[in-house]
Structure 1
Amino acid sequence: MKNMATDFDVMIVGAGISGIGMAAHMKEKAPNHGFVIVERRENLGGTWDLFRYPGIRSDSDMHTLGFDFEPWKHEKSIADGPSILEYLDRIVDERDIRKHIRFGHKVLAADWQENEARWHVTLETSDGEKKHLTANWLYLGSGYYDYDEPYDPGFDIGEFEGQVIHPQFWPEDLDYADKHVVVIGSGATAVTIVPSMADKAARVTMLQRTPTWMFSRPAKDALANFLRKILPEKIAYRMTRWKNITLQDYSFKMARNKPQKVKDGLHKRIRKSMGQDCDLAPFTPPYNPWEQRLCLVPDDDLFEAMKRGKADVVTGRIKAFEKGGVRLNDDSFLPADIVITATGLKLAVAGKIALSKNGRPIDLAQHFYYKGCMFSNVPNLAVVFGYLNASWTLRADINSDFICRVLTESRARDADVAEPVLSPQAAAAIEEDDIFDFSSGYIQRGKHIMPRNAVAYPWRLNQEYVLDRKRMKEDPVDDGLLEFRRHGANARGADEQLEAAE
């Protein structure tokens, strides 16, 4: 007789913020379900372990990038990479999660087999061995970008003889003392690297094709630190977290509704840092605030480096890489010993795992999001794609909580399949929406691989945390769209199990 045992109830892919968060939620809210975390790298932390460039830090506050169940205890709310890793390590050890992590395990493919109600997962270990495991559920905490390959803008390095480095693959032993450094890019990575390298380097130039809206704030949250002195830690954390969530939501909506007012406010803060007569052109993008993510400048570090003459921001297009630096289209020349291409990431969906259903490939670009968490007509699969206008972990928390509710409901019903069902007729009637109302380059480049998005909830990836949190927590799990069943009982035909478009 064929062994129908499942290796794991839930396989969590990735030991970064999303995966560790799901494991912690399961420990508390679905303790009767077993799980394993498979992580391709040899350490936990995901992004926070991969990126090692100078100054690596959060670009949002840790009271919202932290989990809802674990207070952020550090004095600085804008935290460096090592502090975030320490936070994740503490969670993993205090909750006895580390024993569930299998490091050096990269997921290559996963095939859902309906007659067994389980995913057959093909993995490759760090020493090249292929493994096959099964799981009733797959929870993808694999992030949103390609770990193997950053975005390549196709620069012709030409005659340049210095080092060219992408932040995703930072060399451990890079010596940049007294060197001239050109950082190409204007996003969060460039804005972090420039002031961090400015202390040792002779000069650091941020070369941007287009300016980015920047805002400065203290790295320490004075109210948070005050509340922690007078209140129990968890209460202080909850209050600070809600304050920051509310401010994020207010700021985003203000930028969309009254963009000129927000522009004026951002420029006012830059003038306060740089002086009333500063040139605002390098800080005035051709788009409105929050049409792309704002760049955080904690403690005015970028502006301070510029005032000291150690850093500058230049707007222009590259004409050629020459022996000693970079020539721009206006024929100006930027001397460089080191060029850092902080040109962005390459989007990836589902960790580039080859997904299939009964042997037929699943193209997620043909499936609708369901509650920003699952996909239409794909059973027992959940994913985390964080907010663009707020902290990633906010979505990770509500998705984890929701899937724990689904697991509990399934167990109560003696069901082993949960599938958001969308008929071809219903799908054809859906009004579709742009999945991301953001003009950022990496977003636009990756749209073609992203799942479909409806105007109306629940068939969408929403960008409004406060509303999402209420819905995910309070709406019934059994909403008439999420079908619970026992495999083999009333199973739909294979021809109905994939979207009509596939």
Structure 2
Amino acid sequence: MTGFDDIYDVIIIGAGLSGIDAAYRLREENPALRYLILERRERIGGTWDLFRYPGIRSDSDIFTLSFPFEPWRRPEAMAQGGDIRDYVEATAHKHGIYEHIRFGHRVQSADWDSTTDTWTLAAEADDAPQTYRTRFVYFATGYYDYDHPYQARFAGIDDFTGTVVHPQHWPEDLDYTGKRVVVIGSGATAVSLIPALAEQAGELTMLQRSPSYIASMSQRQRISPILRKVLPAKLAHQLIRSRYAAQTAAIVHGTHRFPTVGRKLIRAGVAKELPEDYPIDVHFNPAYNPWEQRMCMVPDGDLFVDIRENRVEMVTDHIDRFDATGVLLKSGRHLDADIVITATGLNLLAFGDVKIRVDDAEVKPGDRFLFKSHLLEDVPNFAWSVGYTNASWTLRADMTARAVAKLLSYMTTHAYTHAYPHLGETSMAGGPLWDLKAGYVERAPDALPKSGSGGSWKVRHNYYRDAIDHYRDDITESMVFGRAAAVTSK
């Protein structure tokens, strides 16, 4: 797809897991590809650089979260955030990707010009405007707002004389040693944060409005060390990765199919971790079925250990209001607090808030269908990497990167300068991209592109079915290919 010296073949926006994976796969399939990665932060890592709160870790096994082409060599099944960031950076250096990254570049808009079949990206770096041109743009920006987390509105919060913190903007100098700390939330952030806080906090309370499913994952590896000893590193990594992917898929789809059995099994697992008289059905019995929201995994049951040893108190109640010294609950109970941590979630945001325009017409994410889970309806030379709700992010991110790499190779072979999926005159019902009943999804139904109701327009959350379709993929299905007039005339 090379053309003019000042035009890149691909610009990848974002240098996190998805961006580094994309760079590796695109170059693997297309060795002559000229690419660039624009990263708004000053370091590599994306999510794993943004979040700095104590205890930040993967909420799925690290073996499927890691790159399939670069073995994860540490022993644990769930990894700490700092270790993940270091792994991403080391991978970028090892494979010659790091030198293609330009840090401190915040992309503000992307404009497609059909007369030349190029994108023009407007960015800002060091308070100065920067402009880049590319044939293809690949968004590895994730799905949430890096700048503005979801801030739940609590009556009287301005009356509170203590400290209020959202984990997405954790202060480096926050001292919680010996303090009374209340963490509001019951999701992955809260269950990761609390065991780390429990090591130094005085009184620690996990306050949830309603329970979530929480399950323990063993950090101890039995089969993996053996495979690593007897097999080459990459082969061992592939086998370990496949094992965890299959295990997760079996659990997810089994509990979807038999929710009553799944609920009982999860409850039985929690019961093993807690005292016999503990009110499990108050604090660990959600109203929804398993995997209607993402499951919270805790390594070696660390949260349950802290509850069992009275370092953490679980409280399930509704907040009435804040006052000067803490939180008053609907039940009438008052939680005294020096620090309140609002682990209340995130705000969805497509494409890193980059304004997308095709021939001067703005593209609104919620108006478009997603095709094959990564191409945007009627938007040329455009891909977006987004993961699964019920498995690790990288499983689909890597599949997306390989699919785009093959698309670029096909376009080069046939001298096409543009390609995009087109639904045509077919009428199709739209639905949410993610099949979750989570608050951050329900708060912003139009923030992300839509899933169609069938075929390659339907965004599934089934890794193995997607993998089969990927293997059998017909690149030309529902695609429009062509050449720009300006290119054709040369």
1:225 CA drift (Å)? 2.3
Q: How does 1:118-129 map to 2 (within 5 A)?
A: 118-125=118-125, 127-129=126-128
Q: What secondary structure, in the 3-state scheme, does the structure 1 residue paired with 2:320 have? A: strand
Q: Which residue matches 1:210?
A: 210
Q: Which residue matches 1:485?
A: 482
Tell me the distance in 1 between the aligned counterparts of 2:313 and 2:231.
43
Q: What secondary structure, in the 3-state scheme, does the structure 2 residue paired with 1:452 have? A: coil
The match for 1:457 among 439, 455, 458 is 455
Q: Which residue matches 1:294?
A: 295
**Do 2:432 and 2:445's aligned partners in 1 also have CA atoms closer than 8 Å?**
no
Q: Which residue matches 1:445?
A: 443
Q: Which residue matches 2:20?
A: 20
TM-score normalised to the size of structure 1? 0.94
Q: Which residue matches 2:410?
A: 409
Q: How does 1:213-252 map to 2 (within 5 A)?
A: 213-252=213-252
Question: Would you say 1:377 and 2:378 are equivalent positions?
Answer: yes
Equivalent AA in structure 2 for residue 288 of structure 1: N
RMSD of equivalent CA atoms: 1.5
Tell me the distance in 1 between the aligned counterparts of 2:448 and 2:441.
10
Q: How does 1:34-433 map to 2 (within 5 A)?
A: 34-125=34-125, 127-156=126-155, 157-280=157-280, 281-423=282-424, 425-426=425-426, 429-433=427-431
CA deviations over 1:277-323 (Å, ceiling 9, x no partner): 32112001111110101111111110111122110110111111122
Higher mean displacement: 394-403 or 362-371: 362-371
Tell me the distance in 2 between the aligned counterparts of 1:489 and 1:134.
15
| Percent identical residues | 38
Tell me the distance in 2 between the aligned counterparts of 1:121 and 1:435.
26
Tell me the distance in 1 between the aligned counterparts of 2:392 and 2:212.
19
1:28 CA drift (Å)? 1.4
Higher mean displacement: 100-109 or 264-273: 264-273
Q: Which residue matches 1:436?
A: 434
Equivalent AA in structure 1 for residue 286 of structure 2: P
1:6 CA drift (Å)? 4.5
CA deviations over 1:175-230 (Å, ceiling 9, x no partner): 10000100000000000111110010012111000100110011233222232122
Equivalent AA in structure 2 for residue 436 of structure 1: W
Tell me the distance in 2 between the aligned counterparts of 1:404 and 1:69.
15
**Do 1:162 and 1:338's aligned partners in 2 also have CA atoms closer than 8 Å?**
yes
**Do 2:365 and 2:446's aligned partners in 1 also have CA atoms closer than 8 Å?**
no
Tell me the distance in 1 between the aligned counterparts of 2:174 and 2:90.
30
**Do 1:6 and 1:118's aligned partners in 2 also have CA atoms closer than 8 Å?**
no
Tell me the distance in 2 between the aligned counterparts of 1:103 and 1:489.
32
CA deviations over 1:375-396 (Å, ceiling 9, x no partner): 1111000001110011000111
Q: What secondary structure, in the 3-state scheme, does the structure 2 residue paired with 1:137 have? A: strand
Tell me the distance in 1 between the aligned counterparts of 2:201 and 2:164.
16
1:436 CA drift (Å)? 2.4
Tell me the distance in 2 between the aligned counterparts of 1:120 and 1:220.
49
TM-score normalised to the size of structure 2? 0.96
**Do 1:158 and 1:320's aligned partners in 2 also have CA atoms closer than 8 Å?**
no
CA deviations over 1:145-186 (Å, ceiling 9, x no partner): 001100121224142111100000001111100001000000
**Do 1:370 and 1:459's aligned partners in 2 also have CA atoms closer than 8 Å?**
yes
Equivalent AA in structure 1 for residue 143 of structure 2: Y
**Do 2:356 and 2:362's aligned partners in 1 also have CA atoms closer than 8 Å?**
yes
Equivalent AA in structure 2 for residue 421 of structure 1: H
Tell me the distance in 2 between the aligned counterparts of 1:444 and 1:5.
45
CA deviations over 1:10-52 (Å, ceiling 9, x no partner): 0000000110110111231121111100000000100000000
1:422 CA drift (Å)? 2.2
**Alignment gaps of 5+ in structure 2:** none
Tell me the distance in 1 between the aligned counterparts of 2:255 and 2:75.
29
Higher mean displacement: 156-165 or 379-388: 156-165
Higher mean displacement: 178-187 or 6-15: 6-15
Tell me the distance in 2 between the aligned counterparts of 1:235 and 1:32.
27
Q: What secondary structure, in the 3-state scheme, does the structure 2 residue paired with 1:449 have? A: coil
Equivalent AA in structure 2 for residue 177 of structure 1: T
Question: Would you say 1:468 and 2:469 are equivalent positions?
Answer: no
Tell me the distance in 2 between the aligned counterparts of 1:52 and 1:10.
31
Q: What secondary structure, in the 3-state scheme, does the structure 1 residue paired with 2:455 have? A: coil
Cα distance change, pair 489–465 in 1 and its aligned pair in 2 (3 A): farther
**Do 1:349 and 1:449's aligned partners in 2 also have CA atoms closer than 8 Å?**
yes
Tell me the distance in 2 between the aligned counterparts of 1:488 and 1:210.
58
Tell me the distance in 2 between the aligned counterparts of 1:275 and 1:453.
44
Aligned length: 484
Tell me the distance in 2 between the aligned counterparts of 1:489 and 1:251.
53
Q: What secondary structure, in the 3-state scheme, does the structure 1 residue paired with 2:485 have? A: coil
**Do 1:369 and 1:452's aligned partners in 2 also have CA atoms closer than 8 Å?**
yes
1:483 CA drift (Å)? 2.0
Tell me the distance in 1 between the aligned counterparts of 2:380 and 2:460.
21
**Do 2:112 and 2:359's aligned partners in 1 also have CA atoms closer than 8 Å?**
yes
